[in-house]
Amino acid sequence: MALPPNLVLMAKVLGIALAVGLDVLAVSVGVGVMQLPLKARLRLGIAFAVSEIAMQVVGYELGAGAGRLFGEVATYAGLALLAAIGLLMIRNSFRHPSEETFDPTRGAGLIITSLSISLDSLGVGIVLPTVAIPLIPILITVSITTTIFTFIGLAFGARLGERYEHGAERAAGAMLLALAALFAIEQML
């Protein structure tokens, strides 16, 4: 017995939204150990959702033609940015508090962090036309799941930060580096 087409489409949309959202969750946990105020958490949630949506729209418009090659390049660029953020966080954990540090919640730091998690969405967007997934349902679902994953990750990271205040930023940076390495290995396999 075949599944109804709407159910299959819904499963595809949810599967993509969850896959795209997992890196958002991981980065949010890493950033959350900094125990951010509500304003910074809201800024991150909005920036992450907007960047995921924007990249999927751009990817969708690029279409499937050169998509496979460009999608892989975008994924690896995102992994490199994720690793760079991890390295910056580790480096900043050794700095004196009066020195300027990387801030993933504003300015260039927010843009870099948002891009690092959304470049995979560019690849996903490129593939969407070839797997017959309409753009609007995926955009709505991804914006909701990205925002939810951001807030869950930030809350979980803040609890980790409260409990393990010393070295939390180093641990978060190491976690982001490890995630970048794991995602790269998964991509190669």
Range from 114-118, 153-157, 161-165, 174-178 that averages highest in pLDDT: 153-157
**Per-residue pLDDT for 46 more than 80?**
yes
User: What pLDDT, on the 0 to 100 scale, is given for residue 72?
Assistant: 64
DSSP codes joined into one string, the chain: -PPPHHHHHHHHHHHHHHHHHHHHHHHHHHHHTT---HHHHHHHHHHHHHHHHHHHHHHHHH-STTHHHHHHHHHHHHHHHHHHHHHHHHHHHTS-TTS----TTSHHHHHHHHHHHHHHHHHHHHHGGGGT--HHHHHHHHHHHHHHHHHHHHHHHHHHHHHT-TTHHHHHHHHHHHHHHHHHHHHH-
Answering whether pTM is above 0.75, one says no
